[in-house]
Amino acid sequence: MFRLSKLTDYAVVVLVRLSRDGGVQTSPGISASVGLPEPTVAKVLKAMTLGGLVVSQRGARGGYRLARPLSAIAVSDVIAVIDGPIALTACVEGGGCESGHVCPMRGRWDPVNTAIRAALGAISLADMEAARLPPGFHLPTVPPHAVSDHAQPAA
């Protein structure tokens, strides 16, 4: 199963929270407002700061703020900061496997990986917050005949 990590999910929540109120926010304040443990929020904020998505500010009025607006942060940016590069298989990420030299699928995952990366790059956190798809982005429709008879409940 292809699934994002919980930390990536939490990072989206934290970044969307940072966009509200427009100012600097503290890790404990964010934690209290989103219902996540403070150590988890602190870990996310540290990674987001290192990844350039968040700016930290020291001092009595210190805390964190977004480095750029939500509309300029793609879902793929968050995934890359928390989970690393988007790569469906080891051969896509430049690695390999013991049978790579004879694999009939070698290089065949590249277009799939590129499409997923492009789709995730086209959706901003502002789109996520507003629960909308970006202009020109359409979900594929499944024709009725494509639904298997096996999926239908028995009469």
155 residues of the chain, pLDDT tens digit each: 578 899 999 999 999 999 987 789 999 999 999 999 999 999 999 999 999 999 999 988 889 999 999 999 999 999 999 998 888 777 766 666 666 667 777 777 888 888 999 999 999 999 888 876 556 655 555 555 544 444 444 44
pLDDT of 95 reads 60
Residues ≥6 apart with Cβ < 8 Å to 85: 93
CB-count exposure of residue 67 (10 Å: 0-12, 13-18, 19+): middle
Instruction: Break the chain into its structural domains and give their ranges.
Output: 6-130
- Determine the Cα–Cα distance for residues 75 and 71; give it in Å rounded to an integer: 10
- Specify whether the CB–CB gap between 96 and 116 falls below 8 A: no
- Specify whether the CB–CB gap between 14 and 34 falls below 8 A: yes
- Specify whether the CB–CB gap between 120 and 7 falls below 8 A: no
- Determine the Cα–Cα distance for residues 49 and 112; give it in Å rounded to an integer: 30
Give this prediction's pTM.
0.77
- Determine the Cα–Cα distance for residues 48 and 53; give it in Å rounded to an integer: 5
Positive or negative, the CA dihedral 61, 67, 70, 73 is negative
Fold of 6-130: Arc Repressor Mutant, subunit A (1.10.10)
